[in-house]
Amino acid sequence: MELRLHAADSFRVEKHLHSLKMKLVSKIRFTASPSDAKGPVMKHPVSFLRSVGLLEAISYLILLFVAMPLKYALGMPLAVKIAGSVHGGLFVLFCIALWRVLMHTGWPFSRAVLVFIASLLPFVPFFIDRRMRAWAAEDSTQTPA
């Protein structure tokens, strides 16, 4: 079975991905305080990091175990282009979210490095998410001095 896509189909897929990315970016606003926000804001940086981390981990698994076999076994390079673009965008967002957590919480640098390295390995982000949940609870129970 051979599936071929024309350039017009590829352009439509890329245009749709771009519009989805723009919708996502327009809904996320980073502000100093919730009162400065004009739209929805994540209340805690770690909860946002956890959400983006899980999405990024899922996109990584799709890239590795769906798109790559489609490219090399069935000759469909568009699958890697689409999944790779989505994964790349989510990875950049993950790095921004991790930087935000590092700047706005009391996380040590070594913890941020651990989370970053975990994001590079398949399946590991799902295990580190449980730790991040505990770290978020720990951060929320501490009162600023």
Please report, in tens digits, the pLDDT of each residue of the chain (145 residues total): 455 556 566 667 677 666 666 666 555 554 444 455 555 555 789 999 999 999 999 999 999 999 999 999 999 999 999 999 999 999 999 999 999 999 998 899 999 999 999 999 999 999 999 999 998 888 766 645 4
* Type of residue found at 38: K
Q: What is the pLDDT of residue 139?
A: 74
Q: What is the pLDDT of residue 129?
A: 95
Is the whole-model pTM more than 0.85?
A: no
Q: What is the pLDDT of residue 106?
A: 85
Q: What is the pLDDT of residue 82?
A: 96
Q: What is the pLDDT of residue 145?
A: 46
Distance CA 17, CA 22 (A): 9
Q: What is the pLDDT of residue 68?
A: 97
Rounded to a whole number of angstroms, the CA Rg of the chain reads 18
Burial 103-121 (b: 16+ CB within 10 A, else e): eebebeeebbeebeebbee
Q: 8-11: list long-range contacts, CB under 8 Å, 24+ apart.
A: 10/78, 10/81
